[in-house]
Chains A and B, each alone.
Chain A
């Protein structure tokens, strides 16, 4: 039986981690590979880098970060943010990433998912979807891009089904309504998506407590939970989250923290 994953997400801008990550004894607090290593030692089942660099120069730096991380971190590494073509995906994979998440680029060009899945395999193509609840029609969600600023008119469920049919091997599902609120995941959204696709779904947006993460898995049927600030601010450790999940009967990978 697959174990449920806990994934810390690091926002990277121009080669540095932004959003304060707090580990007391780090020599360089903003260095992505060092933070990734620390999270891996703390029991992260996978590390996610989200590149939020606006300038193209930031992209080259990202490849360097992925390379340096892959040389010292031996858990899966996912990279998202700004990958716009099969060529860019190839570069990120060659640098050592295991998976690449595509978001806006897939909305702009839906054939990108199938192109990348054919070339690199479904296992490394993650469709990242930012969904916003439709206030008019309850139980439906719309795909938004650009951090929620731009609506697309696409129905999130139909869009996800279409991407999975095109070869996406995993869904990174972010509730824009909950993102950054710490009020818990959108369980209804998770339940709807997990009941419609057979590929793993990663829950994102809204984690405020270990109980929220357990609920995303136990009630929302998510395969993995992704969170940023809850871990970075050291409010809850990965071990605490996993202990809560295990107590609720969720199968997780318990590791001994490496000193």
Chain B
């Protein structure tokens, strides 16, 4: 593949973008930062990072005029990659502060059940529920780095790729159609995390529309 994958990292003031931008850049993506809807133009991937609470995050997305355009673009087929809070925002409602979110996936965001400690900070294992290209080359039990207290509870169990246990079990990797969501931080999960990001970029590249010129 010749030209680089165009990834727009959404900046809505929810945590710093340094590590994810660095990681994507290292993996050869063309990374831009989007604070407005116009800045999403031309992006093949909308990547929403973020740490923190849902309600203020949704408030900022709305004030920046990003909520509608993100929903629209993803419905039209732009890839969406969510990390941590960015994954949670895909769902309908958060029990944290009763926030209404993007609603691109069915289900709510709830506190980790029966957690021995919160926030859940540190390395924990991914228990693979079904094979998926994002986890290509990685064994069951691969460790990943988490920083959160809330988790998505997808209404459709089919979207769950991996689960993690911290007291209760929760969906830690979600994927469906053109959506990939990490509850952990692949950009902070060492070589394994970089591999998941690389796999994700390759998956998206493979989905690029075929060139317009048809071979005779």
Contacts and interface: CB of A to CB of B under 8 A. Distances in A.
A40 interface: yes
B147 A200 contact: no
Contacts of A5: 122-123
A55 to B, nearest CB: 26
Interface in B1-54: 15-16, 18-19, 22-23, 26, 51-52
B191 A255 contact: yes
A2 B188 contact: no
Interface of A: 1-3, 5, 40, 45, 67, 70-72, 74-76, 93-96, 98, 121-123, 169-170, 198-200, 223-224, 253, 255, 258
Given A2-B124, A2-B166, A255-B191, A96 B51 contact: no
Nearest to B25: A71
B52 A74 contact: no
Give the most central of A72, A98, A199: most B CB within 10 Å. A98
B53 to A, nearest CB: 8
Contacts of A199: 117
Give the most central of B188, B189, B190, B193: most A CB within 10 Å. B190
Give the most central of A67, A72, A95, A122: most B CB within 10 Å. A122
A231 B37 CA distance: 48
A122 B124 contact: no
Contacts of B125: 1, 3
Secondary structure call for the A interface: loop
Contact of A74 (B117, B121, B189): B189
A3 B18 CA distance: 25
Contact of A200 (B117, B124, B187): B117
Nearest to B53: A121
B43 to A, nearest CB: 22
Nearest to A96: B18
Given A2-B117, A200-B117, 10 more contacts: A1-B125, A3-B143, A5-B123, A70-B19, A74-B19, A74-B189, A98-B147, A123-B51, A169-B121, A223-B122
B142 to A, nearest CB: 9
Given A121-B51, A121-B52, A75 B122 contact: no
Contacts, number: 82
A94 B18 CA distance: 7
B120 interface: yes
Sort A-B residue pairs by CB-CB distance and give the 10 closest, nearest first.
A96-B18, A3-B123, A253-B143, A2-B122, A71-B22, A123-B147, A198-B117, A253-B123, A75-B190, A70-B18
A223 to B, nearest CB: 7
B160 to A, nearest CB: 19
A123 B119 contact: yes
Contacts of B143: 3, 253
B165 A169 contact: no
B117 A76 contact: no
Give the most central of B120, B125, B145: most A CB within 10 Å. B145
Interface string B113-156: 00011111111110000000000000000010101100000000
B175 interface: no
Contacts of A170: 121
Given A122-B119, A198-B118, A200-B117, A75 B22 contact: no
